[in-house]
Amino acid sequence: MINFVDSLNKGLELVNQYDANNKEIETVFAELNRQLNKAYDGKLVIELNNYNPPNQFHDECWDIVAKNPISLEYSQETYTLAEWTQSSTGYPCAIFFSGQKCVCEDKESLEQAIAELLSDPVVARDLRTVINQTSTE
Amino acid sequence: MKLTLIWWNTSLAPLSDTPASDEQLNIICRVVEGFVNDGQADFIALGEINDCYFDYLEQNTIINGFRWFNLAKKYSRISFDSCVLVREDKLQVLETQDITVSKATSTAKIAQKIIVAVKNYDKPVQFFISHWASRLHTENLDRVHLGIRLRDEVSAILKSDDVAPVILLGDYNDEPFSDSLTTGLEATRDITRARKNTFLLYNPFWRHLGETQHYQRGEDATIKNRCGSYYYKSGSITRWHTFDQMIFSACFVGGGDWHLNEISTGIINTPELFNRVMDNKQKFDHLPIISVLEKEISHD
């Protein structure tokens, strides 16, 4: 006879694992934005963004976007920097940008992948545009 | 319609301190010409290429009707080292993507994904070209993990179309029976299983594991025969390994319009290439591999 409670416990363990890993991923973005806030006077925020899938056959869609929250005119406008996917246990997560897909198994590798994203010249050009947005534009 | 695919690790070792000689590069040019003129190749993937070698090969290989794509790319912690040539009147490269996996401070190459449109065929064919690091250099990422992550890429495609055309090829630095390719990638030698369970991949290179010639009493013991695709002269148990492979989704073994021609699939073993691999003075240590795919042309 199958032990259904054991099966549910395994599922719940995976849910807990996802919650813990997701919280860790949130701390990476929190630290990223803490540093950006200090360096650019609050003109640049980078975050995960959930958007509507193109059709009913697609899973939930996420990307990494940048915005300038203090620009009154542009605070609702976001620039997409990369696509984002995440497994049901939190890791691996993956960042797609400039023809590259970086699959990250843990916090340290995610930090490194975000660093590579920021140092990509195509991405950096968009970030410069965001930082330079002012309400007089 | 027929498609002939070739993969060859050219042994140019782009990260080596000693650059390849013009003589070695010219040999590669002649071999690629042979792939096209004698082998009727339509898709050729070459490994261990950098920008310099790519420019030389593109300029000095005398073939017509092919478009060259330099996929060699250096990232902060990893370098990809392939290039691809496609026959323009049959194939069009639509998109490429470099896929890596990282854990802590280790990064490994999974594959380069190349999406190709094929003339008179409505689905794009997705190729994954891999050149995995040797077992000495995978550190925190175990080998099975490389297979699992490559499998994730394939599964994402097969999830929406379980008979999508997916072809994996390259130098895996692992044999067909390695856990990375069996448990990790879910590539099987069992074609009946692969035809029934369309999520499995079929690896025809299980046929090319051992000696090509039977032992015969009285045969000269110094005669060397091919026993794999990669030759390492200092191997204590075996000098040969079948590291170079092509692996196919169900589309090519009864699930779709294309059919793998296994008789024409295997390791290219011309006397000239074999002698170069056996010659200690030459740097070549891989033989090329070939596969042929056939499709009936619809007259609708």
Within an 8 Å CB–CB cutoff, is residue A98 touching chain B?
no
A137 assigned to some structural domain: no
Domain span at residue A23 reads 4-131
Alpha helices (H) along B173-228: 191-196
According to DSSP, the residues that pair with B112 across neighbouring strands are B98, B129
* Average pLDDT, integer, range B179-200: 95
Strand pairing class (B66-70; B166-171): unpaired
Which helix (H) or strand (E) segment holds residue A66: the answer is strand A61-67
Return the residue in B102, B154, B162 with the most chain A beta carbons within 10 A, the one to mutate for interface testing. Answer: B102
Cross-chain Cβ contact A99/B99 below 8 Å = no
Omega into B165 within 30° of 0, i.e. cis?
no
Spell out which residues of chain B touch residue A100, defining contact as CB-CB under 8 Å: 75, 97-100
The model's pLDDT over A84-134, given as tens digits with 9 standing for 90+, comes to: 999 999 999 999 999 999 999 999 999 999 999 999 999 999 999 999 887
According to DSSP, the residues that pair with B2 across neighbouring strands are B294
Please report the ipTM that was assigned to this predicted complex.
Answer: 0.89
- Three-state DSSP state, A33: helix
Say if residue B204's pLDDT is above 90: yes
Amino acid identity at B246:
M
**CA B14 to the chain's CA centroid:** 18
Say if residue B73's pLDDT is above 60: yes
A91 assigned to some structural domain: yes
Give the pLDDT of residue B82. Answer: 97
Domain count within chain A: 1
What is the chain A residue with the closest CA to B80? A100
Cross-chain Cβ contact A116/B75 below 8 Å = yes
Give the pLDDT of residue B143. Answer: 87
Q: How far apart are CA B171 and CA B169, in angstroms?
A: 7
Any idea which of B26-40, B179-193, B217-231 has the lowest mean pLDDT?
Answer: B217-231
The model's pLDDT over A5-62, given as tens digits with 9 standing for 90+, comes to: 999 999 999 999 999 999 999 999 999 999 999 999 999 999 999 887 666 555 678 9
Within an 8 Å CB–CB cutoff, is residue A104 touching chain B?
yes
Q: Domains in chain B and their CATH numbers?
A: 2-295 (3.60.10.10)
* pLDDT grade for B300, boundaries at 50, 70 and 90: very low
Helix axis angle for B22-37 and B51-60, nearest 10°, is 50
Mean pLDDT taken over chain A? 90
- Note whether B267 and B287 are within 8 A (CB): yes
CA distance A12 to chain B (A): 23
Cross-chain Cβ contact A109/B100 below 8 Å = no
A136 assigned to some structural domain: no
Give the pLDDT of residue B299. Answer: 52
